Structure 1
């Protein structure tokens, strides 16, 4: 996929920190010297093309309430369907496929541990799969930014 100049600048400038203000897309547009509609259009296109999966914050879990890493062992024939359902939970930050018996991993964040337990129970009831609950004991910050010069 070829990125146009505005899309490239948008990703390079904001993959590490959206403006924390009431109108973040307008602030992004001002920083990029374009319109808010241009920013929203580029984000929608990038998402439709599969180059962008999500726009939003990732919270420090201890400040946001409770968080846990979860893994599911999903039969291959059901993987897309289960992943799509998992993505619908507002508590899910992201999910991803792994080459392992536990092939679907995701992070749950909620107001407290009891809330997370209820969501895990709901996921088990809906999917018939037993979630492997992996609460974090030690936090590590990993910068997941990607330099775009390698995508030219």
Structure 2
């Protein structure tokens, strides 16, 4: 899966208030959607809103950068694959070119710019663990940067709760 440049929340107004309805939506949907023919309609009904309002609020949260992604999380390791968090230093003068070179690879799930020497982070998703090293070598060569892999040692689930 390839994505366009992700905007980190810290690049936006970090203290912008989140509407109470949006807080309720985030709190409810992070626990999952019901496995029914119309999951958004059922989730909306549980929130006391319409399906159209729920979908509009999700689109607005994504457009504003409050949410950077909305979708399923897969345990790729259970299917034999591997996710690897990676980082590199992209010189400011070459940032756009480095981002484009990294995003050109279908194995790159998403990336984030950060204010640190390692200023560009991305997630690599491959079907088999033995693909990690060759794919990272291709990405590093195409982007002209050293890519540092940070393989997962332990998985954590962080439950974001936004008090009303």
Alignment of 1:1-152 (within 5 A): 1-21=16-36, 23-64=38-79, 65-79=81-95, 82-83=98-99, 86=102, 91-136=107-152, 138-149=153-164
The change in CA–CA distance for 1:30 and 1:3 in structure 2 (over 3 A counts) is same
Higher relative contact order (CA 8 A, sep 6+): 2
After superposing the two structures, state which structure 1 stretch, 17-26 or 98-107, moved more: 17-26
How many residue pairs align between the two structures? 148
Q: Any unmatched runs of 5+ in structure 2?
A: 1-15
Give the distance between the partners of 2:44 and 2:21, measured in 1 at CA: 10
Displacement of 1:93 in angstroms is 4.2
CA contact (8 A) 1:16 1:145 kept: no
Give the distance between the partners of 2:106 and 2:39, measured in 1 at CA: 21
Give the distance between the partners of 1:89 and 1:144, measured in 2 at CA: 30
Give the distance between the partners of 1:18 and 1:86, measured in 2 at CA: 32
With structure 1 as the length reference, what TM-score do the two structures score?
Answer: 0.74
Give the distance between the partners of 2:41 and 2:99, measured in 1 at CA: 32
With structure 2 as the length reference, what TM-score do the two structures score?
Answer: 0.70
After superposing the two structures, state which structure 1 stretch, 12-21 or 51-60, moved more: 12-21
Give the distance between the partners of 2:143 and 2:119, measured in 1 at CA: 14
RMSD over aligned Cα atoms: 2.9
Q: Which runs of 4+ in 1 moved over 6 A?
A: none
Displacement of 1:116 in angstroms is 3.6
